[in-house]
Amino acid sequence: MNEMNEVRKPPVATTGIIGWLRINLFFNWTNSLITLFVIYCLYQFIPWILDWTIFSADFKYNYLGEQITNQEMCSRNLDPENGGACWAVIYVRFYQFIYGFYPKVEVWRVNVAYVMLAFALLPLLYAKLPYRKYFLYFTYIFPVIAYFLLNGGLGFAEVSTNKWGGLLVTLVLGCTGIALAFPIGIMLALGRRSKLPVISMMCTLFIEFIRGVPLITLLFFGMVMLPLFLPEGIDMDGLVRVLVAVTLFQSAYMAEVIRGGLQAIPPGQYEAAKSLGMSYWRMNLLIILPQAIRISIPPIVNTSIGLFKDTTLVIIVGILDLLGIGRGTLADTNWLGLSYEIYFFVSLVFFIFTFGMSRYSLYLEKKLKTGINMGAD
């Protein structure tokens, strides 16, 4: 009787590592062949890429032990057989990549702003932060502080925006664009769903127009046409003009995402709020928007990733963001021909930011269990 009740173990071939390998890699003949082929390709490729990026690469010194100051001193240019990537260009130009041409004496201000940005983002990203309310107050006043820190004023020496560059410009454009587009997007989304035909039509036209043209034409609009629209004497800063274009662009996409959230709110919520005698604005602010925004956070993060990547387009109108600094470095005769190293580095920086954001959006999606995605990129 006892022996009958004994539970038999599953076959060795279906559990543990062997089972996993069998099911996932060697399920049948074709599968095994594919696996072996892929392993062979990886075996050829991975050692080569590791060798190029790390083992035979120069970081600060070449293989003769000299500190590299220009491309001729890179190991691979001294001896093509002996050397991989020349990361020294990143090392030498690191300051420009991070701060642009910001004066060295004042650079502590940028560093303070970077640290403060991290603190300002903290309560937005992490809902369970202790004392979140007080952190949020800081988030609200952060843009003002950052403006005076970076631009000058209030006793700080002025640093004109044409000295800004690199990661600084990328982050300023990305963060400001997203932060400004959020309220404008909400207004546009509410406007598009408004019962007043004129307002709804105007918002719809605006959103569809912006979504129908490429960002680059809006940047040209900001650079070439905006100065013509303004009266004499008002001279807009180049970065501000680009920011206007980026914000307009992002707010249209943000509006569509938030509209998707608004559409997901059951009509009962509206009816209940109205039956309590709430006005249009009270109903939206207290009942509808908090729910709509909550469910549209993952797609909002996704459009923000898109904007962050699109900030690179500003190099076409002559603003030096991270990619712009990279191209500028390549145009320097000292660093000619190091395009792979520079583009690799710039890609890596962007990848870290955007991949981080997309992982965060996935985490939120899981947490909210909404899984709504409006196909935004």
Partner 1 sequence: MRSNIGFFSDEKFRSIFFQTLVVGLFALGLFFVISTTSYNLEKRNIATGWSFLQNPAGFDISFSPFLEFKSTDTHLKVYFVGVLNTLLVSVTGCIAATILGFILGIVRLSSNWLLSRLVYIYVEFSRNVPLLLQIILWYSILIQLPRVKQSLQVLDVFYISNRGLYSPRPIFESGFSYVSIAIVLALISSFLINRWAKKRQDKTGQQFPVFSSSIGLIFIVPLILFFILGSPLSFEHPELKGFNFKGGLVIRPEFIAMFLALSIYTAAFISEIVRAGIMSVSKGQREASAAIGLKQTWIMRLIIIPQALRVIVPPLTSQYLNLTKNSSLGIAVGYADLVHGFGGISLNQTGQAIECMAIVMATYLSISLTISFFMNIYNRSIQFKEK
Contact residues toward partner 1 (CB under 8 A) are 23-25, 27, 31, 34-35, 38-39, 195-199, 202, 209, 211-217, 220-221, 224-225, 227-232, 305, 309-310, 312-313, 315-316, 323, 327, 339-340, 343, 346-347, 350-351, 354-355, 358, 375, 377
* Contact between residue 187 and residue 232 where contact means Cβ atoms under 8 Å apart: no
- Residue 184 CB, shortest distance to partner 1, in Å, is 16
Nearer to partner 1 (CB atom), residue 285 or residue 316: 316
Cross-strand partners of 92: none
Which of 146, 305 has the CB closer to partner 1? 305
Whichever of 4 and 198 has its CB closer to partner 1, that residue is: 198
In the complex, minimum distance from the CB of residue 41 to partner 1, in angstroms, rounded to a whole number? 9
Q: Distance (Å, rounded) from C-alpha 321 to C-alpha 166? A: 4
Whole-number Å distance between alpha carbons of 298 and 179: 16
Q: Which is nearer to partner 1, 123 or 191 (CB)?
A: 191
Least distance to partner 1 from the beta carbon of 269, Å?
A: 20
Helices (H) and strands (E) in the chain, counts: 18, 0
* Strand (E) or helix (H) holding 244: helix 238-263
Closest CB 243 distance from partner 1, rounded Å: 18
CA separation, residue 26 to residues 16, 65, 70 (Å): 14, 48, 50
Beta carbons of 245 and 219 less than 8 angstroms apart: yes
The residue type at 111: N
Nearer to partner 1, 108 or 351 (CB): 351
Residue 303 Cβ vs partner 1, minimum distance, rounded to whole Å:
12
Which of 111, 44, 25, 49 is closest to 340 using CA atoms? 49
At 116, which helix (H) or strand (E)? helix 107-125
CB of 127 or CB of 228, closer to partner 1 = 228
Minimum Å distance from CB 357 to partner 1?
9
Residues contacting residue 53 through CB under 8 Å, at least 6 positions apart? 84, 85, 344
Could you give the CA distance from residue 358 to residue 377 in angstroms, rounded to a whole number?
10
Cβ atoms of residues 302 and 361 within 8 Å: yes
Report the nearest approach of partner 1 to the CB of residue 89 (Å).
Answer: 14
Report the residue number, 11 or 197, with the smaller CB distance to partner 1.
197
Main-chain dihedrals φ then ψ at residue 67, nearest 5 degrees: -75, 130
First to last CA, the chain: 63
Q: Is 375 left (phi over 0), alpha (psi -120 to 50) or beta?
A: left
Q: How far is the CB of 351 from partner 1 (least distance, A)?
A: 5
* Closer by beta carbon to partner 1, 117 or else 226: 226
* AA identity, residue 58: D
